Structure 1
Amino acid sequence: MPRDTGRIGLLEDDPIMGESLVQRLSLEGYKVQWWTRGEQALRELSSHAGEFDLVVCDIRLPDMDGEDVFRQSSREASTPFLFMSGFGDIDQAVRLMRSGAVDFITKPFDMAGLLDRIATSLRFAPSAPVEAELGISPFMRNVEMVLGRYAAHTLPVLIQGETGTGKEICARYLHQISPRAASPFMAVNCAAIPSELLESELFGHEKGSFTGAHQLHRGYAERAGDGVLFLDEIGDMPLPLQAKLLRLIEDGHFHRLGSEKPIPFKARIVCATHQEVEGERGTGFRQDLYFRLSALPLTLMPLRDRPEDILWLAGRFLDEITESRETPVRGISALAEDAMLEHAWPGNARELRNRLERAAALSENTLLMPVDLFPERRSSLAASPVETLSAARDAAERRQILKALSMTNGQILQAARQLGVSRTTLWEKMTRFGIEGGARSEN
């Protein structure tokens, strides 16, 4: 039975391809509007802003470039675009994804593959309500959307951000939502393995290839199979090994130490680093390798810049901690929540989890108190400075808004109801206190 699954705009100038796509998409239950020229699409998208769930767009058109259609239409509406590109257009398609396009598929493609991409694009479109997995802040919701775009591709991903921001969590989430989810996720910390052993750990070695090599060893690249090879702290990889990693990416195979037999490399490379590895400020990292690894980039914001996620993360972490160990702790007091929202979190989410684990291990109370989480601030917590009533009121309102957003998974309307104010009033207060908007999918 055909099903009503969304309205799709199709921009394709080839009459045979266009008619074939219209017929198949209609059979799948989509409502399809077909355009053969960019000007037609822009006119329809402008006059019916917000009515299309997705635009499937060819890059090469008779009157204008598909990129121009995307950029001009984005000024008036945020309709997601999926691009159909020839092999010569892949670089342009990747650039468009960085600019906000949800996906691209290379021609020629099979119809099943296109339908899968369309379903994924609709799932991760900005207007689609998605349960938060990485955070409730607008920034982390956007990170989930970007990873959703990246999931179906084979290009390397480079995740950058401060220590403790969740780079490996994002890499595992990417693996989890990708077609490779059933295959291995092999994580290698390039900073934790001595440089003289890293090559052997990464590529493996044959028996007798060096002193101490008593048996054959399959490295991470081989054990990853057709899954994901995650190279954490890639900025610490020695330069000679960087050259071999570049060769691996370009050739698609590698050799164990002591062997001349090439081994096919089928995994997808995902890297992470807290260092600056690009340009003049970089750490000496090979720029040719950087450009290959950063085909699909992602930079994570520190926790102090997305306070909406603090209590949300704390709740999830504490649930995991109390399930895995014996502790009387069952929750976090309001005073402790206030202290958490005031803390700068230089160690980001990792510091947050560590403080919760220590507090749960040492506290004898049911609810964690500020001193449990911040024992080093015992004296300052007891003697906080006097502030004006206006400042105290503003600080209290800001904390309550952040708590409400955390409890409602970032849903603005639900948070406003809990706080007893209108959605407009809540938006105004959030703007005043520098709190970014939550989930925008509600009506």
Structure 2
Amino acid sequence: MQHDIGRIAILEDDPIMGESLLQRLTLEGHRVEWWTKGEQALRQLSRADGAFDLVICDIRLPDMNGEDVFRQSSRESATPFLFMSGYGDIDQAVRLMRSGAVDFITKPFEMSALLDRISTSLRARPAGAVEGGLGISRAMRDAEMILRRYASHPLPVLIQGETGTGKEVSARFLHQASGRAGSPFMAVNCAAIPAELLESELFGHEKGAFTGAHQLHRGYAERAGDGILFLDEIGDMPPPLQVKLLRLMEDGRFHRLGSETPIPFKARIVCATHHDIGSEASTFRKDLYFRLSALPVSLPPLRDRPEDILWLAQRFLEEIMQVRETPVRGIGVLAEDAMLEHPWPGNARELRNRLERAAALSENPLLMPADLFPDKAPSPPAQVGTLSDARDAAERRQILRALSATGGQISQAARELGVSRTTLWEKMARFGIEGGGRSET
């Protein structure tokens, strides 16, 4: 197997292990440095200024904990960490990954397994990462980063967020970023299938298993193969089926209805819900929730990330124009202003639906506010505000337009706006715009 090449730092105090890793990784073509103490690593990482593609870090060090090295170094750089430990367990792996580690391997390990993990981590570098599609806001960039970290692991993922925030899009992003991209992605909406049919749809049934079962039916769990089984709106799954899903996860196998023959389950489970299924008030099984939420992702509503509105609108409109005959070729400035002022209770799904309807009905090349919001009554005469308020509102809209046009690149947006990067950051902070969080060179 051909492995990606990079500059790698090893933080390992054991002389035999350290020497072994140094020699093998050097033979593989990597540029390698070996450190034995945490303080040494922190000094070198602060001087390197992002020059390392990966740090392979032991947990137990003579002078400090490996996690402390990671947390302190991450304040100054975003160098990925792959942890190794002889004391590892699932709780530690989850904690490290939630903190930002790209991977985790437990000693003792085969060198081939470590090489594969290294190669996966190096392929996840920004230059070679899966092209983003969730948004340009800091929150959605963070969500993409988390999903990339989760991609190489078999643990369940739970995606939470309001209806229409892009939970299935995020699950598909995870699928494409993982080694399962060539395997099936089977999506099941637990709220859309009647409760009495959901078990059969999920696990399948044999011919004659019940009235109307005229032939063998393979369920989603079986058809997912070694890919991803996406359970959307998991919070609406009936309690009896929650028990069977828990058993599936514990046993790694299931039965079709009407059969006693076990079928191995090889897929990875990814779930989504707009409910707070982990709250005390929720009737969702707590033991199942803890299994499903091993790797959590939270998606904020569109109203909390306004810099994504125009960026998403342009992407949606381009996709719509590819499949529909329409005279619409763009979005007018007044329509953009109206979109930036709308609260979007239906989130990105509402945005796409409004654009699809406008593209189908409008006869203008540029969409106007009435095309997107025909249900809105004419606004009452606005109260006269100060010139300062009007200038702030106009500046905020123009900054959001620039961020959308540049894909969230702060430096490029500043050049487009004719201001310094520092000035743009100050204005973004003043107007409550978080920024895209994309690294820039």
TM bracket, shorter-chain basis: over 0.9
The Cα shift of 1:158 comes to 0.3
Secondary structure in 1 matching 2:297 = strand
**Uncovered stretches (5+) of structure 2, i.e. residues with no partner:** none
Q: Find the aligned partners of 2:146 and 2:125 in 1 and give their Cα distance.
A: 10
Tell me how far 1:127 sits from its aligned partner. 9.7
Q: Which residue of 2 aligns with 1:188?
A: 188
Partners of 2:4 and 2:226 in 1: how far apart? 35
Alignment-derived partner of residue 291 in structure 2: 292
Distance in 1 between residues matched to 2:153 and 2:160, nearest whole Å: 19
Deviations 1:359-409 (CA, angstroms, capped at 9, x unpaired): 0111010000011001122411x8444332211111111111111111111
Q: State the Cα distance separating 1:439 from its structure 2 match.
A: 4.1
Q: Residues 321 and 357 of structure 1 are in contact (CA less than 8 Å); yes or no, is this contact kept in structure 2?
A: yes
Change (3 A) 1:144 1:315: same
1:162 aligns with 2:138: no
Give the secondary structure class of the aligned counterpart of 1:376.
Answer: coil
User: 2-side partners of 1:114 and 1:14: how far apart?
Assistant: 17
**Cα distance, 1:134–1:119 mapped onto 2, change above 3 Å:** farther
- Corresponding position of 1:140: 140
Say which SS state the counterpart of residue 191 (structure 1) adopts: coil
Question: What is the rounded CA distance, in whole Å, between the counterparts of 1:241 and 1:4 in structure 2?
Answer: 43
Moved more, 111-120 or 217-226: 111-120
Partners of 1:229 and 1:130 in 2: how far apart? 20
Letter in 1 for 2:74: S
Q: Deviations over 1:45-97 (max 9, x none)?
A: 35555443321112233444322332343345443211124474332021111
State how far apart, in whole Å, the 2-side matches of 1:173 and 1:85 are. 30
Q: State the match for 1:310 in structure 2.
A: 309
* Corresponding residue of 2:100: 100
2:413 to 395, 412, 415: 415
Q: Offset at 1:193?
A: 0.7
Specify the alignment match of 1:259 in structure 2.
259
Equivalence map 1:218-237=2 (5 Å) = 218-237=218-237
Partner secondary structure for residue 230 of structure 2: strand
Matches within 5 A, 1:371-410: 371-380=370-379, 383-410=381-408
In the alignment, which residue of structure 1 is the partner of 2:117? 117
Distance 1:181 1:78, change over 3 A: closer
* Maintained 8 Å contact 1:84/1:107: yes
Which one-letter code corresponds to 2:355 in the other structure?
Answer: L
Q: Which residue of 1 aligns with 2:432?
A: 434
Q: Distance in 2 between matches of 1:25 and 1:199?
A: 49
CA distance 1:327–1:319, change in 2 (3 Å): same
**Alpha-carbon separation, structure 2, partners of 1:33 and 1:192:** 54
CA distance in 2, matches of 1:316, 1:260: 49
SS at match of 2:296: strand
Q: Secondary structure at the match of 2:90?
A: helix
User: 1:276 is paired with a residue of what secondary structure?
Assistant: coil
**Shift in alpha-carbon separation, 1:179–1:86, aligned structure 2, 3 A:** farther
1:206 CA displacement: 1.1
* Equivalent in the alignment of 1:331: 330
By how many angstroms is 1:102 displaced?
2.0
The Cα offsets for residues 268-310 of structure 1, whole Å up to 9 and x where unpaired, read as 00000000101314x2011110110011100101111111111
* Residue in 1 that maps onto 2:278: 278
Contact 2:84 2:105 (8 Å CA) reproduced: yes
Cα separation, 1, equivalents of 2:259 and 2:87: 35
Is 2:4–2:123's contact at 8 Å kept on the other side of the alignment?
A: no
Q: 1:323 to 1:259 in 2, by over 3 A?
A: same
Q: TM-score with structure 1 length normalisation?
A: 0.93
SS in 2 for 1:379: coil
Residue equivalent to 2:319: 320
The 1:206–1:404 alpha-carbon spacing in structure 2 relative to 1, beyond 3 Å, is same
Q: How far apart are the structure 1 equivalents of 2:239 and 2:153?
A: 27
Q: Partner residue of 2:423? A: 425
Contact 2:4 2:119 in 1 (8 A): no
Give 3-state SS (helix, strand or coil) of 1:230's partner: strand
* Counterpart code for 1:367: L
- Contact 1:90 1:106 survives alignment (8 Å): no
* Partner in structure 2 of residue 70 of structure 1: 70
The offset of 1:214, in angstroms, is 1.4
CA contact (8 A) 1:128 1:441 kept: no
2:58 touches 2:85 (CA, 8 Å); kept in 1? yes
Work out the CA distance in 2 between the residues paired with 1:424 and 1:50.
22
CA deviation after TM superposition for structure 1 residue 138, in Å:
1.4
Q: How far has the Cα of 1:435 moved from its partner?
A: 0.9
Report if aligned partners of 2:3, 2:115 keep a CA contact under 8 Å in 1: no
Verify: 1:351 aligned to 2:350, yes or no. Answer: yes
Residue 244 of structure 2: SS of its match in structure 1?
helix
Question: Normalising by structure 2, what TM-score?
Answer: 0.93
- Which amino acid counterpart does residue 303 of structure 1 have in structure 2? L
Equivalent-residue separation in structure 2 for 1:304 and 1:175 (angstroms): 27
Q: Say which SS state the counterpart of residue 91 (structure 2) adopts.
A: helix
1:152–1:179 Cα contact (<8 Å) kept: yes
Instruction: Indicate the larger mover: 414-423 or 124-133.
Output: 124-133
Rounded Cα–Cα distance in structure 1 between residues aligned with 2:54 and 2:28: 15
How far apart are the structure 1 equivalents of 2:37 and 2:293? 33
Give the secondary-structure state (helix, strand or coil) at the position aligned to 1:375. coil
Aligned-residue CA RMSD (Å)? 2.3
Q: How far is the alpha carbon of 1:258 from its aligned partner?
A: 1.1
Distance 1:410 1:132 in 2: 12
